[in-house]
Each structure stands twice: as structure tokens, then as C-alpha cells.
A = this chain, B = another copy of it.
Amino acid sequence: MNNFSTEYQIRINKVDEYMKEALKPYSDCEKVLIDSMNYAVFNGGKRIRSILCMETAAMLSGSAEAAMPFAAAIEFIHAFSLIHDDLPCMDNADLRRGMPSCHKKYGEAIALLAGDALLNTAFEVMIAHCKKGGVGTVEAMESVGRACGVHGMINGQVRDIELMASKDATEEKLIHLIEQKTMALMMTSVECGAYVSGADEETRKELVKFAYNMGVAFQIRDDFEDEEEDGEDAQNSPNFINTLGRERAFSEMNRYAEEAISIISHYPNNEFIMGLMNFLFKK
């Protein structure tokens, strides 16, 4: 893969195009709701989850198409979670990717509803797709539902609140927290790609393990980025840097990334995902 960034951008554009189409049937609804949903979704996100989803399918079946509705759904869920995370009663964040957060731009009530609407939209997109049939579609939708809900991300957000209040973060507690808060969506991304490709259970579980390791590495990388961007702010919430120290956090990131790479290296047609791993962890 000669020019990874170009290839990556092509995929971002594909997901964004699909998500724009998915939101179009809402164009006759209340403008402020549609505007706020679009504002929160199309904010320059890296689309890492949706691209993982599509590229898992592409690696296994040669085509990313069947994974697209799930990729988009997961991205809508990610956007919903960020809107609600930013609200004053949660992280009270005025900025998201350098722009006013959704509630700063549209007010709290509309932001709350935009988040609700994006969660609902995620399921609407998946249900419409499942209705057409196709290998593994209901299983994929089930996986997304589980990853987002009380067995996944939302429970992880509660763990985050509790860990922040307790002020006794350890590496074990952090892993326990991000397993749900961050990695559940990463893992379902890869699992959906495997389901719609008709992968067997062993392959699916191995790829979820890849996503687990990749997810921890990604979270530590994110903590380093946050530290650069936010400076002191990042010190207040429990993260890998202030829990492990910079040096150990860095070596742990590499250890998890290497584990992920060693899993994915067995697969034929792994060029893009290997490129992604190098892009994220080797530069």
C-alpha cells in the first residue's frame, strides 16, 4: 500500500456518503433536529470504527459493501455517545474537534434529542437492511445492540463516572472501564464485518481478539493525543498516562498493538488493516 492516507480518505468519503444518504429521508422533519444530527456526525471524525467494520468484511470476503449499514450504524452510535458525553451533566465539554460541541451550538435540549435520534437512526438503518435478508445481518445487528447498551458502551460510561468519583484508578480498573466504554464498539465493528462475510465462529472470535488488542492500543494512543491537546484537563480524568506513567503507557500501547498485528498478520488480504495499524502505531 503505497499511499495509505489517500486510501484511508477514500474510505472515509465512502462512509460519509452512505451516512448522508441514510439521513436524507429525514429531510422533511424539523430542521433544527436534522441540522444538529448532521453537525454532530459530519465533524471530521476519523471513522476508525466504520472503516474497521468495512475492511474486516473486505479482508474476509473481498467486498466491504455488505458491512456498510453496520459501519454507518456504529458511526451514528459513536456520534450519539459523543453528544451525550459532552453535555453539561457529563463532561461539560464546550468543544469537540475544535468546534463548539453540539449543545453549545444548538442548546442542550436539541443536543439531547439529536443524540437520542442518532441512536434510534442506527437501529433504523440496520433494521431496514436486515429486512432485505443477507448472511449474518440479524447477528450483526444483535452484536451492535449488545455493544452499545447495558452490556457495553453505556455501562462503560457509568463505570467512567464511578471511577472518576472514586479517584483510585489502576491499570486493571482502566482496562475494565474501556473494555466497555471504548472497545465494545471497536469489537462489534470487527464482529459485524465477520458476520456479514459468513466467517466461522473461530475466525470471528480471533478477529474480535484482534479488535480488543487494537482497541486498548488505540485508547492509550488517544490518551497521548488528549494530553497534547488538553494539557492539564487530561490529568483529571483517569487515563493510562496518569495511571501508568508516560513510559509504561507507551510500552503498553506497543505491546497491545503488536499483539493485534500478530493476529491479523495470519490473514490473506490484510494489506489495508496492516496499513492502518502501521499508520496508527508506527509513525
Q: Which residues of A contact B (CB under 8 A)?
A: 25-26, 29-30, 32-34, 37, 80, 84, 87, 89-90, 107-110, 112-113, 115-117, 119-121, 123-124, 127-128, 130-131, 138-139, 141-142, 145-146, 148-151, 154-155, 157-159, 161-162
* Contact, CB under 8 Å: B90 / A149: no
Beyond A124-B145, A142-B128, whether A109 also contacts B151 by CB under 8 A is no
Beyond A121-B149, A124-B149, whether A116 also contacts B34 by CB under 8 A is no
* Contact, CB under 8 Å: B142 / A127: yes
Q: Chain B residues with Cβ under 8 A from A120's Cβ?
A: 119, 145, 148-150, 154
Beyond A154-B113, A155-B33, whether A108 also contacts B124 by CB under 8 A is no
* Contact, CB under 8 Å: B127 / A158: no
Please give me the residue from chain B that is nearest to A133 by CB atom: B138
Say how many copies of this protein the assembly contains.
2
Please give me the residue from chain B that is nearest to A130 by CB atom: B138
* Contact, CB under 8 Å: B149 / A84: no
Q: Chain B residues with Cβ under 8 A from A128's Cβ?
A: 142
* Contact, CB under 8 Å: B131 / A108: no
Complex: A161 Cα to B113 Cα, angstroms: 11
Complex: A62 Cα to B155 Cα, angstroms: 39
Please give me the residue from chain B that is nearest to A34 by CB atom: B150
* Contact, CB under 8 Å: A112 / B84: yes
Which one of B26, B32, B117, B151 contacts A29 once the chains associate, using CB atoms below 8 Å?
B151
